[in-house]
Structure 1
Amino acid sequence: MSASAGGYLARRTAQKERVRILYRRALRDTLNWAVHRHLFYHDADELRAKFDANRHVEDLDTIDRLINEAEASYEKWQHPDPYIVPWAPGGSKFSRNPRPPKGIEIVYNYGKEEND
Structure 2
Amino acid sequence: MSGVSAYLARRAAQKERVRILYRRALKETLNWAVHRHLFYPDADDLRKRFDANKHVEDINTIDRLIADGEAAHNKWRHPDPYIVPWAPGGSKFTRNPEPPSGIEIVYDYGQEAEEAL
Give the root-mean-square deviation of aligned CA atoms.
Answer: 1.4
Distance 1:23 1:113 in 2: 60
* C-alpha spacing 1:19/1:102, structure 2 compared with 1 (3 Å): same
Question: Kindly tell me: are residues 6 and 109 of structure 1, through their superposed partners in 2, closer, same or farther at Cα, counting changes over 3 Å?
Answer: farther
Return closer, same or farther for 1:109/1:51 CA change in 2, 3 Å cut-off: farther
Partner residue, 1:55: 54
- 1:108 CA drift (Å): 3.5
The count of corresponding residues between Structure 1 and Structure 2 is: 114
Give 4+ residue runs of structure 1 displaced > 3 Å after superposition: 111-115
TM-score (norm 2): 0.90
Q: Which amino acid in structure 2 is aligned with residue 49 of structure 1?
A: K
> Residue 110 of structure 1 corresponds to which residue in structure 2?
109
In the TM superposition, 1:58-69 aligns within 5 A as 58-69=57-68
Structure 2 gap ranges (5+): none
| SS in structure 1 of the partner of residue 46 of structure 2 | helix
State the partner residue of 1:31. Answer: 30
1:59-95: per-residue Cα shift (whole Å, max 9, x none)? 1100000000000000001111100011111111111
Task: List per-residue Cα deviations over 1:4-29 (Å, max 9, x = no partner).
Answer: 11101110111011000110100001
For residues 64-75 of structure 1, the aligned pairs below 5 Å read 64-75=63-74
Q: 3-state SS of the aligned residue for 2:86?
A: coil
* Deviation per residue, 1:14-49 (Å, 9 max, x gap): 101100011010000111111421110000000000
My pick for the range that moved more, 100-109 or 47-56, is 100-109
User: Percent sequence identity over matched residues?
Assistant: 74
31-40 or 46-55: bigger deviation: 31-40
Alignment partners' CA distance in 2, 1:20 and 1:108 = 49
Structure 2 CA distance for aligned equivalents of residues 59 and 25 of structure 1: 24
